[in-house]
Structure 1
């Protein structure tokens, strides 16, 4: 995909935004230590090591940085949950298991600028008093794994990792761990079980990772983009970070735009930008065929329609519109696509990726896929629509993790806005072929 930054994106409050997270992406050999150091690389680390760890935690709290992996939980608050002077080792784990359909922001970030992640890891580990960090990368992203591993090795050779980092007395070891291609391991506790060598399945919470995470010790789990933002906050300050985005959702964000647009890719813009503005950056709808529906944060977020073009794409705006910001994986679909067909494809994914630990998700996703497949074959009945909603109601809020909830989102939202398409399948009693046109 093209790594295109949205520097011309405008926010109602701050005007044009200079690229932050993507500013090195187009530099020659941007992934190397030499290029990174030429462009302010590791200056934030030197500054951070002169500060007290608690000052760094407070700085991130003041910045308002929220988790970029989907939930939007305040990063500084998560760091502050780690108990101090407890006699236990502390761990930092980076969730780079990017598997949400439509999400493709972390892999290009790690490919183009892996040292921004490594520097963020070191600063974060210092803040939470951790001496061991793991970067858990999705196993299919082989080139990405190699690049991050090479960046870690460069950092070791330069004295940014290992013993007595830059003469500060702080020690840190970092490992790059390749997952085995399980979507469920994007859930933080399933990821921790996988790191421990167990089958990746979500844990019952509480206890939460902050007190009983990796090897039952206090652990912070953060997304790639969240941690890569930290060096910029240390150098620029919390006030500077808050000049971008909105009051409750500050800072820049990488938006992944895929589907029926002229220029799919990654667009950096302030939180709060609208789809209408992002579509302009992406060259508009492909072949000028009108927008029909879209996802603001990947397939596990409730879909929206052309009526929501001006919804602010921040955590609050997406929620007020009845969806979620998620991972800002914007999938755009034009009028040639059958909504039931798209929903069936997503549901088949969730059925396949369910770990099977809890009954509502294991059985529910299976039956959702069965009903949708029957309807798409032209063998459905009007009652199937209510059956889908009933199964979704029995999954929602009854699963160990968010996979079950996410599997229901496209179905319930699609029926909310496009019920007539599901009913038309039953009335015509013939298969829907519109999906094949996309």
Structure 2
């Protein structure tokens, strides 16, 4: 059985885990000393050879993204950390920043040194004020200790780090919309190319990485790329934070090697919340990834295996639903979110998510007919691959996968004139009441 690998989460249970003193007691900033004694190009090469892939959803190799920056031309270049975590079910970066923010701060310094950046930014979702304050305090402590600012650790390297609170838009999790928001404009995706590596923040070369990606850099530098690559699978290396929520006995953050299965994680989490009910469906990477069912309990949770099974590892947000849950209602609620959060820039997403909501709402109420299922699939087909960014594609995932695995449940809503999981609205339960 795969065991947990507490690295970023190793001292979360400390009474003051967020302080610089606690972090320093747990090897904090030793990696920075080691990094400042290395050639920046060697740091990029180490990150490449470690096999670290982006922990924000897409899984793009982190070191390769750094290497896309053009040669220095004398002008500024930037590091921007995407901390705009806001997809339903995704909840790993916020607890990491709340419990151990210095991992992220040290990772920012090392990454900035590696790519030649002298001003880095952390773009945080604005609603999480408590996390914003904690990050500000962590940065303040790092400045006071000489880990940020001028001549860091006597190396001659300078870095300023700015924590920016966003205005609360899911679309700003898309890297180019984030950059527009950071520049003071409305957060909407940019046309690519040019990519941020060439023309990003203020039209300068920019690296945009997820919180967990950057926080993983200090352990890699300190313990070595081979140490990191020894965990996980051949193509999905290292460890990651798996967020279990929903109908599970012990929801929370489980840090484990990539390739662990949900069956193993559920065993660690005490199984289902109610042992009298069974697992019905779950998300492997948040609400924007195609659903899995109990048949997928033993799929290794790595990028390749999950993709081969028809979904995406995404942010490893494992939302667990038992057999008391109406899948139609769950998908309808997620579609509410995607319709509301569409930025409106492109027609497929702006109009498509609205129509998905109308049809799903009708089906959930037991109205419409079987042809509405084909209409849903047709709308999804007109969004997928045609939207300006990935938000539209993500909105189609729970719809198409739920119809694939739970078509009978959609039809049951029609035949019973309402949701069979709601006693007040369903004729199914009314019939049972009469017969008894």
TM-score after normalising by structure 1: 0.95
DSSP 3-state at the match of 1:299: coil
Which of 405, 421, 425 aligns to 2:393? It is 405
CA-CA distance at 1:424 after TM superposition: 1.6
- Quick check: 1:387 aligned with 2:375? yes
Q: Deviations over 1:213-246 (max 9, x none)?
A: 0011000000000000000000110110011111
| Match for residue 132 of structure 2 among 115, 129, 145 | 145
- After alignment, is 358-367 or 18-27 more displaced? 18-27
Tell me the alpha carbon deviations over residues 55-79 of structure 1, each in whole angstroms, 9 at most, x when there is no partner: 0000000000000000000000000
Q: Distance in 2 between matches of 1:381 and 1:88?
A: 61
1:376 deviation in Å?
1.3
Distance 2:358 2:424 in 1: 20
Query: Is there any run of 5+ residues in structure 2 with no aligned partner, and where?
Result: 426-436
Report SS of the residue matched to 1:258. Answer: strand
Q: 1:219 aligns with which of 181, 188, 206?
A: 206
Number of residue pairs the alignment of both structures matches: 424
SS of residue in 2 equivalent to 1:352: helix
Aligned equivalent of 2:36: 49
Deviation of 1:422 (Å): 1.0
Task: Name the CA distance, whole Å, in 2 between partners of 1:261 and 1:318.
Answer: 21
Are 2:302 and 1:314 equivalent residues in the alignment? yes
Q: Following the alignment from structure 1 to structure 2, what is the Cα–Cα distance between the partners of residues 432 and 97?
A: 37
Contact 2:5 2:239 in 1 (8 A): no
Q: Deviations over 1:285-317 (max 9, x none)?
A: 111110000000000000000000000001011
How far residue 17 of structure 1 moved from its aligned partner, in angstroms, is 4.7
Contact persistence 2:324–2:421 (CA under 8 A): no
Say whether 1:278 aligns with 2:269: no
Task: Show CA shifts across 1:119-166 (max 9, x none).
Answer: 000000000000010001111111101001100010011111111111
* Runs of at least 5 residues in structure 1 that lack an aligned partner in the other structure: 1-9
Mapped to 1, the partners of 2:4 and 2:312 lie a distance apart of 24
State the Cα distance separating 1:436 from its structure 2 match.
9.8
The separation in 2 between residues aligned to 1:203 and 1:245, in whole angstroms, is 34
Please list, as runs of the form range in 1=range in 2, the aligned pairs for 1:185-264 lying within 5 A after superposition: 185-264=172-251
Corresponding residue number in structure 2 for 1:329: 317
* Deviation (angstroms), 1:28: 2.6
Task: Trace 1:26-175 onto structure 2 (pairs within 5 A).
Answer: 26-175=13-162
Q: Write the distance in 1 (CA, Å) between the matches of 2:241 and 2:8.
A: 8
SS at match of 1:210: coil
Taking the aligned partners of 2:4 and 2:244, their CA distance within structure 1 comes to 19
**What value does the CA root-mean-square deviation take over the aligned residues?**
1.3
Cα drift, residue 435 of structure 1: 10
What CA distance in whole angstroms lies between the structure 2 residues aligned with 1:25 and 1:434?
A: 40
Change (3 A) 1:260 1:360: same
- The 3-state SS of whatever aligns with 1:316 is helix
Q: 1:339 aligns with which of 301, 312, 327?
A: 327
SS at match of 1:209: coil
Mapped partners of 1:17, 1:342: distance in 2: 30
In structure 2, C-alpha distance between the alignment counterparts of 1:88 and 1:396, rounded to whole Å: 38
Q: Structure 1 435/206 Cα, relative in aligned 2: closer, same or farther at 3 Å?
A: farther
Q: Secondary structure at the match of 1:430?
A: coil
2:299 is the counterpart of 1:303: no
Task: Report Cα offsets for 1:29-69 as digits up to 9, x if no partner.
Answer: 11111111111100000000000100000000000000000
Whole-angstrom CA distance in 1 between matches of 2:71 and 2:143: 27
Could you tell me the TM-score, scaled by structure 2's length? Answer: 0.96
1:377 is matched with which residue? 365
Give distance in 2, aligned partners of 1:430 and 1:297: 30
SS at 1:212's partner residue? coil
How far does residue 432 in structure 1 lie from its aligned partner after superposition? Answer: 4.6
Matched, 1:22 2:9: yes
> How much does 1:259 deviate?
0.4
Q: Secondary structure at the match of 1:344?
A: helix
Q: Which residue of 2 aligns with 1:418?
A: 406
Structure 2 Cα separation of the partners of residues 436 and 331 of structure 1: 26
Q: 1:353/1:347 Cα in 2 relative to 1: closer, same or farther (>3 Å)? A: same
The Cα offsets for residues 255-291 of structure 1, whole Å up to 9 and x where unpaired, read as: 0000000011000111000000000111101111100
Report which structure shows greater RCO (CA 8 Å, sep ≥6): 1
Counterpart secondary structure, 1:287:
coil
State the shift of 1:21 in Å. Answer: 1.3
Contact 1:299 1:346 in 2 (8 A): yes
Contact 2:412 2:420 in 1 (8 A): no
SS in 2 for 1:286: coil
CA distance in 1, matches of 2:162, 2:423: 43
